Structure 1
């Protein structure tokens, strides 16, 4: 299918320097790692979500007070998680790049390689269950199957290249209608398999047989729309320096009457176009660099200078 995602067999090609090898899922993430995060790391929401039949469950159903010395009320309660999981709920470990060191290192290296911001989540799904209904993401996704097998159903986009403020819920009817048709691609992922899903592709997945774990590496791409936003923002700042632009429209104006604002629109348009043409490319690149720096937290910075092994 032209433009469709495909699977890549893992472990056969050499990895770039700095990447943890995907040929051993245990080195990156595992079912045991998920167990440790939930039962031993004192996670709080939203680092864990529980989802059943496409609906996120209230946090009160899987959290409780932290106990003596921890005055918090949203710490993950492993007993509650166990009960919900046994009832068919999927455990979603969000922001793994902040909570699991091997993922942190991998995501940081991948972001440098791609030039786009990257996040990581893990989905632990009970046997023969489905966490989310058919939907699309507003970022590209690499799905890495870690444990068990999962069947995926993929449909072409109903809205190509969705922006970050265009979630699938804004086109829920179209998505449901598309998902009701035969899938454009159906495949089963097994441990070590990787699936690339460009943003906008509709997808759903169901665990086969036993418990399954898969990672999603979300790539939040910089788009030409970001360039347009940076350009218009700087152009607006430029024209705002003109006292005439800052001045009020004439008394008695009806802003919805085209004939009463046409002349002002024409002059403002001329000012904006002139401002756009005068903005140096280097200024836009600098603005984008600031956005990029703000989108990913910096790498670990030593906090304690004494008594720490280097």
Structure 2
């Protein structure tokens, strides 16, 4: 069976062990912080609301998302080999795209939840009941599967040239397409239209923009400065995560390839695959009084 070689960070040999330690610490931090968020949203009755229901699922998604990338990267840094089979590469790409697409959709669902809470508060409990919330989460997970499987199959059906060296730290679409022989224009266009532009970026992003446009208009109508501040504070964490995630993902997939070096591509990919998932729990906890209070209650029980 054909094998690929992930170059990763092999061009900086003297820093391999240091990078291994840094990324291992980051991975453990992501696992622990997101697990704590999942735990407190489950056990604290004050957090049994749609907003925290979605946040718990988002934290679980973040764990899955980084687990597709980081354990493999850590193994490559430790062994300094980087060999990955054709099948394993295809599986990694498909899961990465599915989870990335699910994250985009779940961020849109969370924006819709904030829209209903702020713009239609009297009907919030009725509109965002538990059944609707569960259906929205399920739809976010399931709807990415068919386009991703189709796209992955199209990419890995291409003939690959003599070089099987992937100048990246995981099997992403742009570096894999560079290895394909012949004309990959059709595949690049199909990926842009079917996967990135429609399912993963544009549709959820437009929903987020519309939701926040209406939220901001509604907040500005409030006569109380305290009310405006409270409304903005409930959205600020989510909005920060959206800007960070969509900003780096858009640069990677919608930026013209000739103007982006491979080193720059790796650095940007590190942001949305590793660093942003590390920041997300911090963003959601430090600016959220309910979560901080639930965390203090949990620590009081564990460390009386």
Please indicate, yes or no, whether the TM-score normalized by the shorter chain is above 0.5: no
Structure showing greater relative contact order (alpha-carbon pairs closer than 8 Å, 6 or more residues apart) = 2
Larger radius of gyration: 1
Q: Which has the higher strand share?
A: 1
Q: Which has the higher helix share?
A: 2
